Amino acid sequence: MVNFLKNFFSFGFNEDGLSHWIWQRISAFLMILLFFWIIFSFQELSNNFIIDFNTWIKIPINLILFIVLFILIMHHSTLGVLNIFEDYVQSEKIKKFFSILLKIISFLIIFISIFSVWHIYSEII
Amino acid sequence: MKNNNRPLSPHLQIYKPQITSVLSISHRFTGIILYLSTFLISLWLFSIAFNNNLKIFLDNFFYSNLGKIILFFITFSFTYHFLNGLRHLIWDFGYGFNIKNVYLTGFIIIFLTLTINIYIWFF
């Protein structure tokens, strides 16, 4: 049980296949809910999308859910691409190298996006 | 001893193209497209926040034909990956495994993906 929890809270990033599988499903399920939310709330924005987006993101709950959604997207897709490496890259060394590279890129994308969204949020209207 | 001769998944050319294998491979392929499209979303957010010139450039780019084709691929991949993901989740609960249902849900997904994308882009 302790071992299971330890694997579980690696968020799918250690070598354990079960936790990878579970986290891929958890993030998928949460993303379904959040994508329905974001698609329906974007429907209410007018044609001038950027200006509306700027005011939309200034509502705290929108900001928080948007950031959560973005982290989930990157988590889910990073796990997905890691799985492709697992299936098709034969050498352990090359696999390791690309896994680390992928994690760095994903982290940078998350960082840039959240930083930008936070900047829009904290701008004076 | 370290085993550097790990077993791999069979390479793609080995599969006979049929609806089951094609949909499965497409799921991965669209997943990769979606991963790459997060770069664009990130760049777009960055441009709104920090760089107005970049924002104007991106706006113009996505109004051009090449930009529209890229956006089309993204919406297509998104709808397909979303619907097929739902199918995968249903499978994970143990439903719909017999071959008849696999074919049926496969065709439903192709139909829905095409319908939704035609709706998005032409209406």
Q: How confident is the model at residue B1, as a pLDDT?
A: 45
The length of chain B in residues reads 123
A21-25, A90-94, B10-14: least confidently modelled range: B10-14
Q: How confident is the model at residue A125, as a pLDDT?
A: 57
Q: Which residues of A touch B6 (CB under 8 A)?
A: 90, 92
User: Under an 8 A CB cutoff, do A80 and B86 touch?
Assistant: no
Tell whether the model's pLDDT for residue A88 goes beyond 80.
yes
Q: Could you tell me the pLDDT band of residue B4, with boundaries at 50, 70 and 90?
A: low
Chain B residue with the nearest C-alpha to that of A123: B49
- Report the phi/psi class of residue A26: left, alpha or beta, with left for phi > 0 and alpha for psi in -120 to 50: alpha
Domain count, chain A: 1
Q: How confident is the model at residue A15, as a pLDDT?
A: 74
Residue type, position A60, single letter: P
A46-60, A82-96, B42-56: least confidently modelled range: A46-60
Whole-number Å distance between alpha carbons of B46 and B62 = 16
Q: How confident is the model at residue A20, as a pLDDT?
A: 86
> SS3 of A94, please?
helix
Q: How confident is the model at residue A10, as a pLDDT?
A: 74
CB atoms closer than 10 angstroms to residue A102: 17
Angle (CA) A26 A110 A9, round 5° = 40
Whole-number Å distance between alpha carbons of B87 and B55 = 37
Condensed to tens digits (0 to 9), the pLDDT of residues B93-117 reads 988 888 898 999 999 999 999 999 9
Q: How far is B86 from chain A (nearest CA, A)?
A: 9
User: Under an 8 A CB cutoff, do A77 and B46 touch?
Assistant: no
Instruction: Enumerate domains of chain B plus CATH numbers.
Output: 23-122 (1.20.1300.10)
Q: What domain range includes position A89?
A: 2-122
Please report, for the domain that includes residue A11, its CATH number.
Answer: 1.20.1300.10
